[in-house]
Amino acid sequence: MKNPEDDARIASHDGASGGNWARKDARNPSENGKRENRPPAAASAEPQPASDSGRLDTSQKKRARRRRRGKAKLRNGAAAAATMPAQTDAQPAGPSTAKPASKLSNRRRRSRRNKQARAQAAPKQAAELQAGQGGTPRPQEQQRPRPFSARSDALQPLYAALDLGTNNCRLLVAAPTRPGQFRVVDAFSRIVRLGEGLSATGRLGDKAMDRAVEALKICRDKLASKTLRRSRLIATEACRSAENGADFLGRVREETGLDLEIVDRQTEARLAVSGCGTLVDRDTDAIVLFDIGGGSSEIALIDVSRRRSPRLAEHIIAWTSLPVGVVTLAERFGGREVTRESFAAMVGHVSELIESFNDRHKLGELARSPRFHLIGTSGTVTTLAGIHLGLERYDRKRIDGMWMDEGDVTSMTSRLLSWDFDARVANPCIGADRADLVLAGCAILDAIRNVWPSQKLRVADRGLREGILTELMSRDGAWRDRRHPRSNNRHIS
């Protein structure tokens, strides 16, 4: 039988601080039996001193904090369990070796969530890009999504450069890699001889324009198959000097959809330099860089003795563009049958053009030091290098960046002069397309060497396209932040 005094004591305790106990007991009935035997603090017959009351309040606060921490751990554990993949038959149940979710730091949790989000988003982005290009993923790709990769072509920013010159039509599509470098994704090159007969008539011929348009249609198809971040399409000396150059570019726009811009000679010289920045060694003080084209030849004097900038074009102290190239020179003096007398006449003509370049001695003593050398970025020097190496087939990897001594260049030029036209055609590094142009290029090279003599010549199998790509990627910040590139598909000049 219950004691009425006990009921009254319990009722008075529930109305005071014991209310918390009553609510907790209702949530956890299994604890009620234990807590009913606890003597309530309010039932004490002796009054509590003030200091004891303060200690009691402090202990209650500590218990409340422990309860909150326990609830937070339970919530974190439940959230981590929800994000973990379900266990399958292929993964037998067993004791888990993973750390409890409650012991992970916030930074590690965020990192794990970001990785999971990227892995889930990558296949969807690749599918959207492929769908935008008119294709559909194969069934195997739908069943096994492609993992996220920074080097995936579908997710990489692509840049394109097209150079329509007097002799060649060239296209290059590339993706940025390490700072200052890129990886070629697609390329195209064809000899079209757009400037054929230009020096005699002052106009582009119909057959030459037809050849160029057909090559540009191939470039258009290659560009249409890519998702490009930026591109630049240029035309040089042939369209620049021809009376009908602008009309021809209008025809190109109508028949191919490509909008080419005619660049001036200064821009052409700068682009030729921009593509060769990685070929300048640290122990170099000065360079004369030349680009022997089909209708013009650009020459740049570069001083890197005081400071070094990532952009080599910023070190140009003087430049010139000679109104002569391999096509125009060969048409004037003859390219199929070249004698030593006609070769000397070509060298003399180019030398007179260089004499009109007033700043040709601006490098001063730097051009006479052992830390000075030449860089050639044309088909002429790459052809000489291939013959020098005795290649049975042209190999860019062996040519680009190689060194030739002064004696090697002189020897190769003399060797070419001893060959007739058929012998030049038979050489795998020359072929029928260049057999009537290569000696004209050698004449321009000899004239440059006479003004700026150097013991070393560095061969560069690169030119305007590489310069365009370098400037596009640099301006777009492609090498500053590879993880979060900007997404704007537009053309720049």
User: How confident is the model at residue 155, as a pLDDT?
Assistant: 65
Query: Which domains are assigned to the chain?
Result: 158-265+471-476 (3.30.420.40), 279-462 (3.30.420.150)
Q: What is the dihedral of CA 480, 484, 488, 489, to 10 degrees?
A: 80
Predicted local distance difference test score (pLDDT) of residue 201: 92
Asked if 135 contacts 163 with a C-beta cutoff of 8 angstroms, the reply is no
- The confidence score (pLDDT) of residue 83 equals 53
pLDDT at 311: 83
CA-CA distance, 263 to 258, in Å (whole number)? 15
CA angle 437–439–445, rounded 5-degree value: 110
How much helix, strand and coil, in percent to the nearest 5, is found in the chain?
50, 15, 35
- Report the pLDDT value the prediction gives residue 192, as an integer from 0 to 100: 94
pTM above 0.75, yes or no: no
Q: What is the DSSP letter of 156?
A: S
Q: Distance (Å, rounded) from C-alpha 49 to C-alpha 47?
A: 7
Which DSSP string do the residues of 369-382 spell out, in sequence order? STTEEEEE-SHHHH
Cβ neighbours of 493 (radius 10 Å):
7
Is 470 within 8 Å of 423 (Cβ atoms)? Answer: no
> pLDDT tens, position by position, for the chain (493 residues)?
444 444 444 344 343 333 333 343 444 444 444 444 444 444 444 444 444 445 556 778 877 887 787 777 667 666 555 555 544 444 444 444 444 444 567 777 777 777 777 777 666 655 554 554 444 333 333 333 333 344 445 567 899 999 999 999 999 999 999 888 899 999 999 999 999 999 889 999 999 999 999 999 999 999 999 999 999 999 999 999 999 999 999 999 999 999 999 999 999 999 999 888 889 988 999 999 999 999 999 999 999 998 777 788 899 999 999 999 999 999 999 999 999 999 999 999 999 999 999 999 999 999 999 999 999 998 899 999 999 999 988 888 899 999 999 999 999 999 999 999 999 999 999 999 899 999 999 999 999 999 999 999 999 998 899 999 999 998 888 887 554 444 333 333 3
* Residue 312, C-beta contacts closer than 8 angstroms, at least 6 positions apart: 273, 274, 276, 277, 280, 302, 304
In angstroms, the CA 408 to CA 385 distance is 9
Answer whether 412's CB lies under 8 Å from 441's CB: no
CA-angle at 466, arms to 461 and 472, nearest 5°: 170
Q: Are 331 and 200 in contact (CB under 8 A)?
A: yes
Quick one: pLDDT at residue 473?
92
- The SS3 of residue 456 is strand
- Name every residue whose Cβ is closer than 8 Å to that of residue 24 and which is 6 or more positions away in sequence: 31
The residues that bridge with 183 in the sheet, in sequence order, are: 175
* pLDDT score at 309: 77
Residue 181: per-residue pLDDT: 87
Q: Give burial (CB, 10 Å; 0-12/13-18/19+) of 23.
A: exposed
Cα 131 versus chain centre, distance: 24
Give the pLDDT score at 130: 52
Q: Is 485 exposed, middle or buried (0-12, 13-18, 19+ CB in 10 A)?
A: middle
Please, what sign has the CA dihedral across residues 332, 335, 339, 344? positive
Indicate the residue type of 196.
E
d(Cα 201, Cα 316) in Å, to the nearest integer? Answer: 35
